[in-house]
Structure 1
Amino acid sequence: MTENIPATGRQFEIVHGGAHAVITEVGAGLRGFHVDGVPYSESYEADRLPPGAAGAVLVPWPNRVADGRWELEGEPQQLALTEPERRNAIHGLLRHTPWAVSEHTDSTVVLHAMIPVQPGWPVPLLTSVEYVVDENGLGVHHTVENLGSRPVPFGLGVHPYPRAGNAATDDCALRLAASSVLPADEGRMLPVPPGRELEGAEVELLGGRSLRGVWLDTAFGGARPAPDDPRGLVRHSVTDSTGHGVEVWADPVFGWVQVYTAGDFPGRGRAVAVEPMTCPPDALNSGTDLIRLEPGRTWSARWGVRPVG
């Protein structure tokens, strides 16, 4: 009898004490995270594709590439237009790929996938992601290795939807560790450079801005650790009226964060994605904050989520 495999493939549960996360085989994405039964990320059913790219790993670029076109050392590249209605390539090449599991213990799962040479991407990469739950929450470790014979630029992002327990999104506040914004055109959601410093109501994001009535699909830059941060991490958060909620932390290389407010997330309606990124939208064309990876070299970085308050 043929096994009925859900859209996201096999599901890998990891547990430590009251902390529990579910990782998917397809896309190596985060499908849910809770502690003592309290949800700290939005979740969805395993038999459907991740709504709004929920929990996705975005590699070798996050966000959008205009017309799917870019150049490597003067050679034109043409990626598939995976956002055809806006004529963009979006969110990398591995969202719908089954990842191989190299380790799965009670509290840890490690998956890896290869990005082969293909139209629009001329250098092979091997990438891995390790998810670990412990007394601090959920930690995630990414690596990318250049298997080719020449350097290649890339970026990496992730697409969690942090959730402040059972509080309604409109009753929560969003705080960002960012200092600038990169506006986008409304039609294709492509950046309109140059970026600018935060202004008006955007400044409230530094201390915590109510999400009620706020609609964003916006890239914020200048994300950096607070001067007194003991671990030197970038920290964003979503908290309820009591200050309880969830923090999304990341290494300083994640100097960008995309914020997307969804109005129709399954089972929740309003939800917010807080997406650490190493580079802004359309970076394969602008070159802004791209990571140059030499042949045979490996890059790594970490991020995670943890309850706060």
Structure 2
Amino acid sequence: MCQTRTVGEFAVSAGDYSAVVVSQGAGLREVRHAGRLLTESPPVRPDEKPPLSAGLVLAPWPNRTADGRFVFDGVEHHLDITEKDRNNANHGFVRTVEWSLYDATERSVTLGVPIGRHPGWPFDLTLVVDYTVDAATGLTVTSTVTNSGDVRAPFALGFHTFVRAGDAPVDDCTLTLSAAKTLPLDPERQLPQGDPVPVDDTDGDFRSGRALAGVWLDTPFTDFADTDGRHVTTLTDPDGRATELWTDTGFRWAQVFTADPDHDQGFPGRGRAVAVEPMTAPPNALASGDDLIVLEPGQTWSGEWGLRHRDSAA
């Protein structure tokens, strides 16, 4: 069985890889390779919400829904406003609740939660997330969502993952992101403002790698290059050692965010930090329908993403 550090906290390992997962929000608290951090590791208790939602699952929608309003199958729904200063419903329902333990071994932990009915959400879904570490391939996160109700249901999924290249300061690292487009956002409400635009000849082009010194981002990226059925993003330290975040092609989006004290959102103990958040759909997808997953009663959807260490010679 996996090691239980405290109630609701699970440590798994295989070879040089290890990870810590908590039951609140099914949060990924840290991933390491040979002791070197591949994610930020916030110093909080298992039952505390981590800073800036680090490592939490975002469902049944990631990011923002404008005014908490969406129309599905001809019916208008009004979600609770959780980002009051921007009048948005943000990041779904599951990131602050206690998930149930489905299974645990030395290498894996599986947690699940019913996404039951909430104000403005008359749909019954069940979400299961499995975190597995492998000595050769690192961490793999497998998510499965099932429509357990009797009507069609919309769904989108994200993970608020802060990547880290060991102890290297973010400003000493290079981000390589294979996305060919970004989605323009209204700077006041962080909502989509038009269609995705090419990154060519812009500051949003990270396809060949770009140093993060002085860069501030809170940007949705899409149109990723397909590398053997995966979208790959890397954060590389000055010695060429990289933390690689990959997703399957079902995660068509990633929100990249730089925590920054100069923007009143520093990451505790680090100051500057970078999140690469895999998402199946863009901001405001419940309202726009863009890349929204629709599940019939009894239907199941599954997707994978993961993290691994890559040496400079790899």
Contact 1:223–1:257 (Cα < 8 Å) also in 2:
no
For 1:166-245, list aligned pairs within 5 A: 166-202=167-203, 204-226=205-227, 229=228, 232-245=229-242
Q: Distance in 1 between matches of 2:64 and 2:282?
A: 9
Aligned to 2:259: 262
| Cα deviation code 1:115-148 (max 9, x no counterpart) | 1122111110000000001111111000000011
Aligned to 2:77: 77
Post-superposition shift, 1:207?
A: 1.0
Q: Tell me which of 234, 249, 252 is aligned to 1:252.
A: 249
Post-superposition shift, 1:17?
A: 2.2
| Cα deviation code 1:31-75 (max 9, x no counterpart) | 001111110100112324211110111111111000111112121
Higher alpha-carbon deviation: 209-218 or 42-51 = 42-51
- 3-state SS, counterpart of residue 203 of structure 2: helix
CA shift in 2, pair 1:203/1:64, >3 Å: closer
Q: Distance in 2 between matches of 1:52 and 1:199?
A: 30
- 3-state SS, counterpart of residue 29 of structure 2: strand
Contact 2:182–2:204 (Cα < 8 Å) also in 1:
no
Q: Distance in 1 between matches of 2:51 and 2:171?
A: 19
Q: Distance in 2 between matches of 1:76 and 1:29?
A: 31
Contact 1:182–1:196 (Cα < 8 Å) also in 2:
yes
Work out whether 1:99 is the aligned partner of 2:99.
yes
Aligned to 1:28: 26
For 2:289, the aligned partner's letter is: G
Aligned to 1:10: 8
Q: Tell me which of 28, 36, 48 is aligned to 1:38.
A: 36
Contact 1:110–1:131 (Cα < 8 Å) also in 2:
yes
- 3-state SS, counterpart of residue 84 of structure 1: coil
Post-superposition shift, 1:203?
A: 5.5
Q: Distance in 2 between matches of 1:32 and 1:203?
A: 28
| Cα deviation code 1:169-222 (max 9, x no counterpart) | 000011112111101111111110122111334364001111000000000111
| Cα deviation code 1:260-297 (max 9, x no counterpart) | 00011111111000011111000111111111111001
Aligned to 2:309: 307
Contact 2:58–2:157 (Cα < 8 Å) also in 1:
yes
For 2:301, the aligned partner's letter is: W
Higher alpha-carbon deviation: 41-50 or 106-115 = 41-50
Work out whether 1:298 is the aligned partner of 2:300.
yes
Q: Distance in 1 between matches of 2:190 and 2:307?
A: 27
CA RMSD of aligned residues (A): 1.4
For 1:103, the aligned partner's letter is: D
Aligned to 1:138: 139
Q: Distance in 2 between matches of 1:260 and 1:235?
A: 17
Unaligned runs of 5+ in 2: 261-265
Figure out how many residues of one structure are paired with residues of the other and give that number.
Answer: 299
TM-score between the two structures when normalised by the length of structure 2: 0.92
- 3-state SS, counterpart of residue 120 of structure 1: coil
Aligned to 2:150: 149
Contact 2:77–2:120 (Cα < 8 Å) also in 1:
yes
Aligned to 2:263: none
Q: Distance in 2 between matches of 1:204 and 1:65?
A: 27
Aligned to 2:161: 160
Contact 1:111–1:130 (Cα < 8 Å) also in 2:
yes
For 1:23, the aligned partner's letter is: V
Aligned to 1:276: 278
Q: Distance in 2 between matches of 1:299 and 1:201?
A: 35
TM-score between the two structures when normalised by the length of structure 1: 0.94
Post-superposition shift, 1:242?
A: 2.5
Task: Give every structure 1 segment of 4 or more consecutive aligned residues whose post-TM-superposition deviation is greater than 4 Å.
Answer: none
